[in-house]
Amino acid sequence: MNKTERLLAIVMELQRSKLLTADELAEVLGVSVRTIYRDMQGLSEAGVPIIGETGLGYSLLKGYFLPPISFSVEEAVSLLLGAEFIENRFDPTFREGARSSRRKIDAILSLPIRDETNRIQKSIRLLQKDEKDIMTKEKVNLGIIREAMLEGKKLRFTYHKRIAEADGNRVTVRTVSPFGLAHDEQNGWLLLASCDLREDIRHFRVSRMSDMTMTDDTFQIPDNFNLQSYRPKDTRSIRVCAIFNSEIKDKVEEANNYYMEASESKEDGYHVTFRVRQPEELLYWILGWGADVVVTEPESLKNRVREEIEKMKERY
């Protein structure tokens, strides 16, 4: 990054943030603090209204705005692909916003950049799961969730779990305070929320929610909660061990099961250790490998596998 690019980057960072210290700018731009001081002097001499507050940092004079700048091919493709993802996976309001953003970005690109960007876009495809009903349900729910988060209102919905809880119920009605949304490649959209029933933060797959409504009850996100740094509690306490046929080792690794904790190739096969909350969480995944896997522990899961095999034999 040359000096001109760095000066533009500083103005853009200040335009994006209300206040930044020299140390913060130096870290973002990968230069020394002394270089930032010199750049600030240069920007001030060039007429950019930089305000320096001793002990606090730098900011731009209120109302100052850097005119639009051109995008590189890589920047344009990144923005357009990001907009396409939102268009495909979010609720109707954001879908329209994403479409509008794509049109605006395309409109301000120079002809050579636009042609190159279109060429690259045609060579990249964002694959979506062919689960139209689930995706439609997700998008409807996402709109309600987003509205509830903006208004600080609680949500009530029916939640359908894949595996029954200790009381044998798979379906429960939950009232929650929505803290944020996260997207997972395997599970789709997840809602992080404080659950009134469990009195703790829980994760809910948006596609498993039904009958969702926004209540009149309000909530406030705790000051110590930060979605970007939040890490869920690991409640997986049960160890599951299995031996796979060595010939399918690459397929098992490629499956990249969420619960997989350790693996090792031995003479008798590919040994894999999982860590789960309930053994049943792995039952159908294990059965999917047929005779190429043997569960060695716990005994309870070995028995469940036997039971399922007997049921299958009866049906065939």
Is residue 10 within 8 A of residue 29, CB to CB? The reply is yes
8 Å CB contact between 146 and 152: no
For the domain made up of 132-218, give the CATH fold. Answer: SH3 type barrels. (2.30.30)
Average pLDDT of 194-198?
94
b/e per residue 69-103 (b: at least 16 CB within 10 A): eebebeebbebbeebbebbebbbeebbeebeebbe
Side chain identity, residue 274: F
Average the pLDDT over 46-64 and give the result: 85
Domain ranges of the chain: 3-60, 73-122, 132-218, 238-315
For residues 159-172, average pLDDT:
79
pLDDT the model gives residue 314: 93
Q: Look at residue 68 in the predicted model and tell me its pLDDT.
A: 61
CATH number among 2.120.10, 3.40.5, 1.10.10, 3.30.70, domain 238-315: 3.30.70
**What's the DSSP call for residue 29?**
H
Residue 45 to residue 37: CA distance in whole angstroms: 13
**152 vs 164: CA distance, rounded Å:** 31
Q: Look at the pTM and tell me if it is higher than 0.75.
A: no
Q: What is the pLDDT of residues 99-114, one digit of tens each?
A: 888 888 887 788 888 8
As a whole number, mean pLDDT of residues 38-62 equals 88
Whether residue 131 has pLDDT greater than 60? no
Domain 3-60, architecture per CATH: Orthogonal Bundle (1.10)
CA distance 119 to 113: 10
